[in-house]
Amino acid sequence: MGLTELEDRIVAAVGAIGPSVASVETLRVGRQRGMGPFARPGQASAVVWDPTGYLLTNEHVVEGATALRVHLADGRELPGEVVGGDAVTDIALVKVDAIDVPAAHLGDSDALRVGQIVLAVGHALGLPGGPTVSTGVVSALGRPLPGSDFIFEGLVQTDAAINPGNSGGPLLDLAGSVIGINTAMIPFAQGVGFAIPTQAVRRIADELRRHGRVVRPWIGVQVAELGPELARSHGLVPGAGLLVAEVVPRSPAHRAGLRAGDVVSRVGPFEVHRVRELIESLSKFPVGSDVAMAIQRRRQTLEVNVPLEESPDTPAARA
């Protein structure tokens, strides 16, 4: 591909996504000791997910906001309502009273390759004049966000410039398809930004529209990865699975017969060696279903059927 052809593809991709990128203004009320309440405005980006007025952005963009104003690409300025948000994946769904809004095409983030050219689009720094675009490559896949709570879907890392105001905007491939929602940049680093992959975004957005929240399966175990030292201390093979450290009383795992000391090696058809793999595997099954789990117990291989319940709301129960 020559430079002129590459340039044409970038221009076409940006032109295709332009009508689907919106600017989001937020307002929060802050307080300071010795002073009264004061308004804290914020600015970010969003991308149209559904032509009936549903937009995707980040949960951290709308969290705690008392008011939202959405500026669509066609010039309309409308109040926004938060349908739901998910702090674990940093995805939120916003609704505006509009129809026939051009929706972006969500691509296949599972097909991404390290080194692939990508484009970050959004209202960087809140500057007037429409969305901006930066180019880069996919630097890595399946990344956790450094210094944050665990985000189980894994993030797309890119060196495309993501600045304040880009949050909630799309990360594109050269076909103009959205393959991620920009979520964060690392202020002390050069060229390190992150996006939530669309394969996770699709599922989360569907859950938010149906329930206003994400319904996550829960079995009630605390597990540890079998590194060399832990495996040696328990007489186990490193990487053989996940060691069950604790089973919550009266939880689905407890009712199914799991015990502390068991090693979970498979969930349904998926082998599990890391905590993230266990969470991802469970998320593929609906709440209310039974999932077959292979466990090792005293050199015996057993299979148990564990019913999946919705994750409890209390932090103590989740632990």
Is 55 in a helix, a strand, or coil?
Answer: strand
**Residue 317 pLDDT > 50, yes or no?**
no
Residue 135 is predicted with a pLDDT of 93
Cα–Cα distance for residue pair 167/151, rounded to 1 Å: 16
Could you tell me the two tokens for 124?
């960087």
Q: Look at residue 35 in the predicted model and tell me its pLDDT.
A: 67
Triad 131, 132, 133: Cα angle to 5°: 130
Q: What is the mean pLDDT of residues 270-288?
A: 86
Is 197 a residue whose pLDDT tops 60?
Answer: yes
Q: What angle do CA 79, 22, 191 make, to 5 degrees?
A: 135
Cβ atoms of 176 and 170 closer than 8 Å: no
CATH 2.30.42.10 in the chain is located at 217-318
Q: Is 212 left (phi over 0), alpha (psi -120 to 50) or beta?
A: left
Quick one: pLDDT band at residue 32, thresholds 50, 70, 90? low
Average pLDDT over residues 47-73: 93
Q: Quick count: other Cβ atoms within 10 Å of Cβ 11?
A: 11
> Which segments within 15-66 are labelled E, that is strand?
21-30, 38-50, 54-57
**Residue range(s) in the chain whose domain bears CATH number 2.40.10.10:** 15-95, 109-199
Instruction: Please state, in angstroms and rounded to a whole number, the distance separating the CA atoms of residues 11 and 7.
Output: 6
Higher pLDDT, 235 or 314: 235
How large is the average pLDDT for residues 179-186? Answer: 85
Q: How far apart are CA 41 and CA 313, in angstroms?
A: 30
Share of the chain above pLDDT 90, in %: 50
* pLDDT average, residue stretch 25-53: 82
pLDDT band at 29 (very low <50, low <70, confident <90, very high): confident
Q: For 15-24, what is the mean pLDDT?
A: 93
Q: How confident is the model over 224-245, as a mean pLDDT?
A: 82
pLDDT at 318: 41
Q: Can you tell me the distance from the alpha carbon of 133 to that of 236, in angstroms, rounded to the nearest whole number?
A: 51
The CA R_g of the chain, rounded to the nearest whole Å, is 22
pLDDT tens digit sequence for 87-133? 888 899 999 999 889 999 999 998 999 999 999 999 987 777 778 89
Q: Which residues are catalytic?
A: 60, 90, 167
C-alpha neighbours within 13 Å on the C-beta side of residue 179: 24
CATH 2.40.10.10 given to domain 109-199? yes
pTM: predicted TM-score of the whole model, two decimal places: 0.77
* Per-residue pLDDT at 146 exceeds 60: no
User: What is the SS3 assignment for 10?
Assistant: helix
CATH pick for 15-95 out of 2.40.10.10, 3.40.50.970, 3.30.70.1380, 3.30.450.40: 2.40.10.10
Span 238-251, average pLDDT:
88
**Dihedral of the CA atoms 23, 24, 25, 29 (nearest 10)?**
-160
Mean pLDDT of 259-283: 88
Confidence category of residue 30, pLDDT binned at 50, 70, 90: low
The CB density around residue 84, as the number of other CB atoms within 10 Å, is 21
Lowest mean pLDDT among 60-69, 70-79, 231-240: 231-240
The domain defined by 217-318 folds into Pdz3 Domain (2.30.42)
**Residue 314 pLDDT exceeds 50:** no
Side-chain-facing half-sphere of 102: CA atoms under 13 Å: 12
pLDDT band at 166 (very low <50, low <70, confident <90, very high): confident
